[in-house]
Structures are given as structure tokens and as C-alpha cells.
Amino acid sequence: MATINFGGVEEQVVTREEFPLDKARETLKNETIAVLGYGVQGPGQALNLKDNGFNVIVGQRKNSPTWQKALDDGWVEGETLFELEEACKRGTILQYLLSDAGQIALWPTVKSHLTEGKTLYFSHGFGITYKEHTNIIPPDNVDVILVAPKGSGTSLRRLFVAGRGLNSSFAIDQDASGKAREKVVALGIGVGSGYLFETTFKKEVFSDLTGERGILMGALAGVMESQYNVLRKNGHSPSEAFNETVEELTESLIRLVSENGMDWMYANCSTTAQRGALDWKDKFRDAVNPVFEQLYDDVASGREAKVVIEANSQPDYRAKLNEELKVINDSEMWQTGAQVRKLRPSN
């Protein structure tokens, strides 16, 4: 573990230098890693592990679109691709990467194959943290661990192929073998993490749900819509409103933030922009702070989990979800975005 100073607070992190890939492979040389689910996180983690030299199989529902995706990605039926229950039997480390709703539905099957000495791996703390709603309660004689990449499985894979990494958190809920820590760090390195920082299942899900509903997705979409609508209301064209709201952020400014921080981005904008941003930053912060406080309280209390589980348990939840997503896609703002993306230079 390396001690790093983050803004005046010291934290312990694990890097590839301290725990190299060769050590990770040696740690897991006798394990069969069964990646259960090939949706959001499954492909990136499974392919990265395979390319890094680990013994990996995939479990997925047969004849589903994601089964075909697994075949297209090079997994071989009967050799490295199996139906979910068969993968549960064969795996010694079960990477439970189905959706939260899928995890609840498949849990009786997975639990029946969690024999002594196996390891149950999550990339989200939802099922364990909200066990009173999910009924996901592992037996005492297995390790229960978590590696949560801080981004989508698509990003995890893209960065891996580019020779980079996506930072991940890790946690241990049960250490039945006495070796859970070595296993979880080895898996974190194996899936392509940039560096690993320790958390708990509860803190992971609290921060994750807050982030998704907040700045990463919900708040971002909401403030974009608000600014776009105000510009349109005041006579600006769709192209101008979209470019000023989305395109400049995603294609220019956020990349400067990623490179060297918010102050670096400010420093690379005009003094007029800097003055205005500094004057209005605190107003926006103070305006949304009560919303974030309410959001975190709903997450911590379990109310948000209850809403999610009830919605996802409806037989037509996917159809309803697609209808809601279609409203976003069909809006003037995002139809404008589709045209703007087509007009970007190809090189």
C-alpha cells in the first residue's frame, strides 16, 4: 500500500507498481473466474482478465442478445461460455455482474453453488448493503469482496486497450479464507484498474447512487436541459444552444479539467469567462446543496433502493424505461446533438 496525500488527507492506495500483474496472476493461478452477466460491466472485466492471462469463463442466459455478444467477442460455447448455472458450478470466483434486479432474481441459484472456499465478487455494494430488500445474504464460509471501477465497462475496456486504466475502489465484506485481501487486489489489478482505493460495501453504494443521480447523470442532464431551454426561450437557435451547453463542455472544457483540474480549465479560458464563472459558481453550489442533501438521505435510508427494486420488479419495467429514454432521445436538444455530432470533422 502506498500513502498518498489527497488535498491534505492521507489515504492508502494500491498501484500496479506495488502489486504487479505477475503477482496478481500468481495469486489467482488456481482459480476459475466465472463472470456472471455480460451486460454493462461483464464484457470489459471479462475481456481484460482474459487478455491479462487469467482463467476466465462467462455465464449468460442462452439465446439472449448478450449471449450473442459474448460469442461475437470470442467466447466459445462449452469451453469458455456457459449458461449461468453451469458457470456457477465451474467457477471458484463468481463475479456477480448482473443488474441489481438480475442479481435478486438469480440469487437462489448462485447461493446454491457457493460452496465452502469459493469467492463471491461484486462491482456494486447494492445487493449486500440493502439485503433487507434483496435477500442477498451469502453463507459464512465464502469470501465476499468488491471491485468497483469508477466508470462504465465500456470505458474500462477502451482504456485497457489504450494501455491505460480506470481507477477502482475495493472492499471486503467477508474474509472466510484469510486471503480475501490478496484476492480482491489481484482481481482489481486484473480487470485493469489504474489504482485501487479501499472502501466498504455501504460507502461504495452510497457514493455510487448519489453520484449517478447527482453530478454524473441526473444533475448533469437536468442542468443541461435547463440552460438549453433558457437559451432557446430567449431566441437562440438549437445549434447555438446545444453547442454552448453540451458540445463545448464535452469536446473541450471537461477535457482540460481531466488533464489538470478545474483551475487549469479556468486559466485556459478568457478573463471574462473566469470572472463570471467565479462569481456564479457559489450561487449554483448553494442552490443545489439542499437537493444533494436530500438525495444522500434518501440513499442512506434505503428509500432510493426500495424505489429501484419496486420499479425493476415490474414485468414491463424495461419497456417503460425505454419509453422514458426515448423521450430524451426525441427531444429537440438531443436530436440537435445527433446532427452536431454528424458535423464534427472526421479527422
List Cβ neighbours of 185 (8 Å cut-off, separation of 6 or more).
14, 19, 24, 170, 196
Provide the 8-state DSSP code for 191. T
All cell numbers assigned to 148: 468497483
Strand order in the sheet with 143-149: 2-6, 9-15, 193-198, 166-174, 143-149, 119-122, 93-96, 33-36, 56-59, 81-82
Give the closest residue to 35 by CA, choosing from 16, 67, 57. Answer: 57
* Pairing between β-strand 2-6 and β-strand 9-15 as defined by DSSP bridges: antiparallel
Architecture of domain 2-199: 3-Layer(aba) Sandwich (3.40)
Q: What is the pLDDT of residue 40?
A: 87
Mean per-residue pLDDT of the chain: 95
pLDDT digits (tens, 9 = 90+) for 11-24: 889 999 999 999 99
Q: What average pLDDT score do residues 123-151 get?
A: 95
pLDDT digits (tens, 9 = 90+) for 235-263: 999 999 999 999 999 999 999 999 999 99
List Cβ neighbours of 53 (8 Å cut-off, separation of 6 or more).
21, 25
Strand locations in the chain, DSSP E?
2-6, 9-15, 33-36, 56-59, 81-82, 93-96, 119-122, 143-149, 166-174, 193-198
pLDDT digits (tens, 9 = 90+) for 66-84: 999 999 999 999 999 999 9
pLDDT digits (tens, 9 = 90+) for 260-317: 999 999 999 999 999 999 999 999 999 999 999 999 999 999 999 999 999 988 889 8
- For the question of residue 124 being annotated catalytic, the response is yes
All cell numbers assigned to 5: 496525500
- Return the number of other C-beta atoms located less than 10 Å from residue 281's C-beta: 12
Q: What is the pLDDT of residue 2?
A: 81
Q: Which residues of 147-177 are buried (b: 16+ CB within 10 A; e: fewer)?
A: bbbbbebeebbebbeeeebbebbbbbbbebb
Percent of the chain as helix, strand, coil, to the nearest 5: 55, 15, 30
Q: Is the pLDDT of residue 214 over 60?
A: yes
DSSP H or E stretch at residue 49: helix 42-51
Q: Where are the domains of the chain?
A: 2-199, 211-342
Q: What is the CATH number of domain 211-342?
A: 1.10.1040.10
CB 242 within 8 A of CB 337: yes
Q: Is the pLDDT of residue 86 over 80?
A: yes
pTM for the whole structure: 0.91
Pairwise CA distance, residues 244 & 299, whole Å? 33
Q: What is the pLDDT of residue 136?
A: 97
Q: Which residues pair with 83 in a beta bridge?
A: none
Q: What is the pLDDT of residue 318?
A: 86
The alpha carbon torsion through 315, 321, 322, 328 (nearest 10 deg) reads 170
CB 104 within 8 A of CB 130: no
Q: Is the pLDDT of residue 188 over 60?
A: yes
Pairwise CA distance, residues 329 & 219, whole Å? 17
Q: What is the pLDDT of residue 151?
A: 87
Q: What is the pLDDT of residue 347?
A: 55
